[in-house]
Amino acid sequence: MAADRHFLKQSTIGASSAPLSFLLFDSIAAILFAAGLAGGVVAVPEGLAGMAPWVLLALLGSLLRSVAVTLAARSGAARAGIAKTKLRGRIVAAAFRHPPGGSSTVGVLMNAVVDEVEAIDGYIARFLPARYAAALGPLLILAATACASPIAAAILVLTLVPFIVAMALAGGAAADESRRQFEALPRLSGLFADRIRALPLLLAFRAEASETARIGRAADEVATRTLKVLRVAFLSSGALEFFAALSVALVAVYAGFNLLGLLPFPVPEKLDLFRAFFVLALAPEFYAPMRRLAAAYHDRQAADTAAGRLRAVEEHVPLPVAQKPLVDSAAPAISFRSVSIGYAGGAGPAVSDFWLEIAAGETVALVGPSGSGKSSLLHLLLGLAPLTAGSIAVGDTRLEHGVSIAAIAAWVGQSPLILPGTIRDNIAMSKPDASREEIAAAVRAAGLGPLLLRRRCGLDGRLDERGGGLSGGERRRIALARALLKQAPLLLLDEPTAHLDSAAEAELIASIGRALPGRTAIIATHSEALASIADRIVRLGVPA
Ligand SMILES: Nc1ncnc2c1ncn2[C@@H]1O[C@H](COP(=O)(O)OP(=O)(O)OP(=O)(O)O)[C@@H](O)[C@H]1O
């Protein structure tokens, strides 16, 4: 809990000072308004001319109040916007560092980035300014009241005690219920997002009914918890309103009886009409900042719960290291020396004591049974797999922590990534500023021509996020075109011809063969046909 608060504080640094002063103006303006109102009532016998300055003072007070509240809302929203943008940047960066296959699903991460960051909006825009105003505003009102009537001020202080007790009790009860509700909400959104992503699978396995029931149960849980929160919130606001109304009533009775001299006990002060009206007009203002705080309390609970979950997204992922990019346009030599790769949670090393010297411009095919570590070796070069022993050098540079070969490498992974957008967007991902000619050359080199001819919109044909409407071979060609467009001197291909029939495989192998000259390439494959275009075949075995 303390760590969550610290996280929240860190995320909202500097976000509260200006709204604080704006909301304090509201209390100051309320004093002016009360003085104007009391003066105006007293001046009624003097007619309009006598009342005018007091009426003007009251108008000025109300004007200042609306300006103060508007400025507080605007500046709170602006500060919340800045804090959310910063926090969202941090959480997105942390989400990208989450290892694939980790405990956080895409739905949970999406929910954290979108909804949970949003939960700190109310905390910064409303709760923080209300908290500071609630600490200082009532003191200002109390001081002004005490100047006019110390006994009225004492009545306000006395009613404050049960008010604070009621607030603390209601706050505690509401906090637990709110926390439960805020925990159920992201669970529902995460579940929903993950099921939407897996929709084709659910339809294929006819699991719609069971998954709909599961989402229904999660939605019911949120609804039940929300009702509990509302019940506590209504009860607590009822209690707050009762004590606020009681204090106003007591001050009104006291001021009225004092004014008329009807009090059944002696008091050390005698109020005049101005002072009686003044304290009466100020009494509701004493509670106004605290009622504002009570209304914003829900925002604090939302932010507290969100902070815990956001902290969990940021924790347990490696800290970002400043990456020193390798920049070199010549095909590099690569050497693996006694390399071992061990995944956290893996039974043993995925690769152990692996030695390989690859000459500049050479193409090496890594061949071996499933699980022998071919993909892991490519991932190691890309910084996606952990080096547990040994060393790797690319050209003259040792690939240590913080050195990235991203700038000189083009990679085609085992499951080519397709993003929603056009075929052109998907290819140009590796070089966003590529010219039409460069894209056309990459398309030709990857043998994508026949696909584009079949599509009415050619390169502008739209793809959904699952690459719907594309065959496995077409997806691999798009990924290859993307890799070739980059014109990187190092090509890393992970089973680029998997799942293709022999004709499609032969075409793709020819395309790859055309791209190899002038580059160093490592191709992980099960295909002897693809391996045969390499300069050298390295066979791996499954580690014991
Ligand atoms: N992220 C990971 N976490 C834990 N273990 C992993 C991870 N990635 C791979 N492994 C394990 O490392 C070993 C090597 O996997 P890798 O994918 O490198 O093999 P491969 O030779 O490319 O297999 P395939 O030919 O089936 O693609 C396997 O036992 C695999 O389960």
The residues, ordered by sequence, that sit 6+ positions from 21 with a Cβ below 8 Å of its Cβ are none
Instruction: Let me know the angle formed at the C-alpha of 200 by 194 and 206, rounded to the nearest 5 degrees.
Output: 100
CA of 351 to the centre of ligand 1 (A): 9
pLDDT of residue 186: 73
* Strands (E) located in 141-234: none
Whether residue 189 is contained in a domain is answered as no
* Ligand 1 atom nearest 341 alpha carbon: 12
* CA-proximal residue: ligand 1, atom 26 (nearest): 370
CA of 372 to the centre of ligand 1 (A): 7
pLDDT digits (tens, 9 = 90+) for 456-495: 777 787 777 666 677 778 888 888 899 988 888 999 999 9
Whether residue 217 is contained in a domain is answered as no
Q: Is 491 helix (H, G, I), strand (E, B) or coil?
A: strand
Burial of 502 (0-12, 13-18, 19+ CB in 10 A): exposed
* CATH number of the structural domain spanning residue 174: 1.20.1560.10
Residues 494 and 533 placed together within one structural domain of the fold: yes
CA of 367 to the centre of ligand 1 (A): 14
Whether residue 131 is contained in a domain is answered as yes
* CA-proximal residue: ligand 1, atom 12 (nearest): 350
Query: Kind and range of the H or E element at 440?
Result: helix 436-445
Amino acid symbol at 162: P
Low-confidence stretches of the chain (pLDDT < 70) are 1, 12-21, 99-105, 316-328, 401-402, 453, 465-468, 542-544
Residues 474 and 531 placed together within one structural domain of the fold: yes
Whether residue 327 is contained in a domain is answered as no
pLDDT of residue 361: 92
* CA-proximal residue: ligand 1, atom 25 (nearest): 370
CA of 250 to the centre of ligand 1 (A): 76
ipTM summary value: 0.95
Q: Is 133 helix (H, G, I), strand (E, B) or coil?
A: helix
The residues, ordered by sequence, that sit 6+ positions from 116 with a Cβ below 8 Å of its Cβ are 91, 186, 306, 309, 310
CB 34 within 8 A of CB 284: no
> Which of 97, 375, 377, 495 has the most ligand 1 atoms within 8 A of CB, as the residue to mutate?
375
Whether residue 260 is contained in a domain is answered as yes
Burial of 130 (0-12, 13-18, 19+ CB in 10 A): buried
Reading phi first (left if > 0) and then psi (alpha if -120 to 50, else beta), residue 47 is in left
> What SS3 string covers 328-388?
CCCCCCEEEEEEEECCCCCCCCCEEEEEEEECCCCEEEEECCCCCCHHHHHHHHHCCCCEE
pLDDT of residue 112: 80
Whole-number Å distance between alpha carbons of 133 and 33: 18
The total number of structural domains that make up the chain: 2
Task: Work out the number of other CB atoms within 10 angstroms of the CB of residue 351.
Answer: 23
Residues 38 and 96 placed together within one structural domain of the fold: yes
* CA-proximal residue: ligand 1, atom 9 (nearest): 376
Amino acid symbol at 430: S
pLDDT of residue 317: 65
> Which of 343, 367, 542 has the most ligand 1 atoms within 8 A of CB, as the residue to mutate?
343
- Ligand 1 is surrounded, with C-beta below 6 A, by 101, 343, 345-346, 350, 368, 370-376, 524
pLDDT digits (tens, 9 = 90+) for 512-544: 898 899 999 999 999 999 999 999 999 987 655
For residue 533, what are the domain limits? 334-539
CB 388 within 8 A of CB 341: yes
Residues 142 and 51 placed together within one structural domain of the fold: yes
The residues, ordered by sequence, that sit 6+ positions from 363 with a Cβ below 8 Å of its Cβ are 516, 519, 520, 521, 522, 523, 533, 534, 535, 536
* CA-proximal residue: ligand 1, atom 28 (nearest): 371
Residues 290 and 385 placed together within one structural domain of the fold: no
Residues 263 and 385 placed together within one structural domain of the fold: no
Residues 253 and 373 placed together within one structural domain of the fold: no
> Which of 354, 374, 494 has the most ligand 1 atoms within 8 A of CB, as the residue to mutate?
374
Whole-number Å distance between alpha carbons of 355 and 522: 14
* Ligand 1 atom nearest 373 alpha carbon: 18
Residues 61 and 25 placed together within one structural domain of the fold: yes
Of 314, 343, 377, the one marking the end of a domain is: 314
Q: What are phi and psi of 430, to 5 degrees?
A: -80, -15
CA of 59 to the centre of ligand 1 (A): 75
Q: What are phi and psi of 74, to 5 degrees?
A: -65, -45
